[in-house]
Amino acid sequence: MHTSDEQLHHLLERELRAAVAARIEDGAEAGEVTADLVRRLRRIGELRSGPPGPGADGSSAAG
Amino acid sequence: MPGGARTYFPATALTSIFFGSPRRDDRATFDIEEWNVDSSEVRRLARRGELTGRVGAAPADERRRLRVEATEVVWPLVYQRVTRAAERARGHHRCASAVQRLAPECLDRFHDDVEAVVDDLFAHADLPIANLEGWLTMRMPKAVIEGYRKRRGRRGAPQRPRIPIWLATGLHDDPWLVELAKVVLDWAGVDATAGASLWPLTRWAELRLRRTGDVAADEATVAAEVEVVLTAMRRRRAWYEKNVERPLGRKQAPVWFATPADAGYAEPDPLHLVEPYERDDALLSELAGRAIDAMTEQIGRGRRVEDVVTEVLGTVFGAVPDSYELDRLPGADPPGPGHVVALIGDPDRLERVIAAVVGILRGRSGGGGGPSEGR
């Protein structure tokens, strides 16, 4: 039985793989796609190191 | 050598030529063993059982000098007893004919073996050694193997590659594939390289022929089988990284020397330790993993699941300026929107992915609408 993390990982990886394959099929170069993935990876890193969300101080998050 | 048999021969005119006329107090016989002993401090110390102690206590300069002397004694023996036989077995007949004819990679192996035997001598010569060559010859096989294991250990490879049961099972206990897995592990931990290839497929194809008798199989067959083995190994990522990737990464990339025979040919492609598709697979997996970490972290900070998923998946799949990070200094704000590219161009599809991820995350946090627990 898969855990929710494994489910999530599997889902995201599958979608990423499909998206990359579609872009390659559309004529994108492999190196260009790889560079794009690296850019996204770095942006995710910035999201993680960003400021705390609005609920971090104990207040409830808005709708 | 008190009480032992000595080899004497008469002091002939020949020895007089080399050593001058015997003085009145010289013996009428010449002791070649004694001459050998006196000619080298290493021999003298070994004869007295003091070599190990002296090496341990000596300053760096003296240790270096003793190592040079010991190497002079050791290398001819290593070449005769170890290298020559190994090179013949490899089919390197030129390398087996003389030290000067060793190919570069074979010369490296020879140097490693000499170093190993000298290390062994320095570590164990704490008892009187009357016949240094005989003693070295006796210890040489063990010393060479020990040196090989130490070098593997320094590279982070297992000293004695063994196939775990889960791997053998993953290879359906196929005898050849299990053996191939072992030679892959073995190869990952040695200094040698296979020219411009990552694996010595020719040698393994010959091994395959000997093991299976299948004459139809060639290097391409073995290359495909290596992929089967590696795929089975990668099922345990941490094990694979420790036993294969890390030691492979420490191999010295071969240098291409242009020779007259190469005139007109382009320099071969650089050696890739992993294939491009493997690198991209790893990148996709890492991106998915980091996205999950980012979502978990943000939700743990009290943000709404929907907001977090939309933001993070927007970064993973949505439009990102392609100039991002290329034209700004570290720490500067991202540039304004320029030419943008989206990994998932269809908004409906992206919405469906977001909805699925939100569903999983809500399920993880017990089905509530509030923030999930951190991972």
pLDDT tens profile B112-165:
999 999 999 999 999 999 999 999 999 999 999 999 888 888 777 777 788 999
| Residue A61 located in a structural domain | no
Look up the pTM and report it.
0.44
The long-range contacts involving B331-338, CB below 8 angstroms and separated by at least 24 positions, are none
pLDDT in the model for residue B335: 41
Four-point Cα dihedral B156, B161, B165, B168, nearest 10: 110
Is A14 among the domain residues? Answer: yes
Examine the pLDDT at A39 and tell me if it is beyond 70.
Answer: yes
- Please report the pLDDT score of residue A7 as a whole number: 86
3-class state of residue B341 by DSSP: strand
The amino acid at residue A62 is A
Residue A56 lies inside a defined structural domain of this protein: no
In angstroms, rounded to a whole number, what is the distance separating the alpha carbons of residues B124 and B122?
A: 6
Retrieve residue A56's tokens. 């971090």
Q: Collect all residues from B whose CB is shorter than 8 A from any CB in A.
A: 276, 279-280, 283-294, 297-298, 301-304, 307-308, 311-312, 315-317, 320, 322, 324-325, 341, 343-344, 353, 356-357, 360-361, 363-364, 371, 375
A28 min Cα distance to partner chain B (Å):
11
- Residue B319 phi/psi, 5-degree rounding, is -80, 130
C-alpha B160: how far from chain center? 13
Q: What percent of chain A has pLDDT over 90?
A: 0
When CB atoms are compared, the residue of B276, B324, B341 closest to A30 is: B276
- Return phi, psi of residue B30, to 5°: -110, 125
pLDDT of residue B117: 95
Most A CBs within 10 A among B279, B290, B305, hence the mutation to make, goes to B290
pLDDT of residue B9: 35
The amino acid at residue B205 is A
The number of folded domains in chain A is 1
Which residues on adjacent β-strands are paired with residue B342? B319
Taking alpha carbons only, the member of B127, B87, B122, B136 closest to residue B108 is B87
Asked if residue A54 belongs to a domain, the reply is no
Question: Chunked in runs of 10, what are the mean pLDDT values of chain B (375 residues)?
Answer: 39 38 44 56 92 92 92 93 90 89 85 94 93 93 90 77 91 93 88 74 88 85 92 89 85 64 59 65 86 88 88 83 48 42 78 88 62 36
Q: What chain B residue is nearest to A32 in terms of C-alpha separation?
A: B322
Distance CA B18, CA B162 (A): 57
- A6 vs B contacts (CB less than 8 Å): none
Q: Can you give the residue range of the structural domain that contains A34?
A: 4-48
For B271, phi then psi, to 5°, come to -75, 125
Q: Of B197, B198, B215, which is closest to residue B206 (Cα–Cα)?
A: B215
Where is pLDDT greater, at B79 or A48? Answer: B79
Nearest to A9 among B279, B288, B320 (CB): B288
In B125-250, where does DSSP find H-type helix?
132-154, 165-170, 175-188, 201-212, 219-233, 237-240, 246-249
Whether A43 and B320 lie within 8 Å, measured CB to CB: yes
In a domain, A57, yes or no: no
Q: Taking CB atoms and an 8 Å limit, are A39 and B280 in contact across chains?
A: no
Can you give the pLDDT at residue B11? Answer: 37
* Contact between chains at B298 and A5 (C-beta distance less than 8 A): no
**pLDDT of B336:** 39
Q: What is the pLDDT of residue B10?
A: 36
Q: Which residues pair with B8 in a beta bridge?
A: B31
Measured CA to CA, the distance from residue A57 to residue B201 in angstroms comes to: 61
| Residue A58 within any structural domain of the chain | no
Interface membership of A24 toward B (CB under 8 Å): no
Model confidence pLDDT, tens digit, residues B173-222: 999 999 999 999 988 887 777 666 788 888 899 889 988 888 888 888 99
Among B269, B264, B278, smallest CA distance to B227 is for B278
* Structural domain includes residue A23: yes
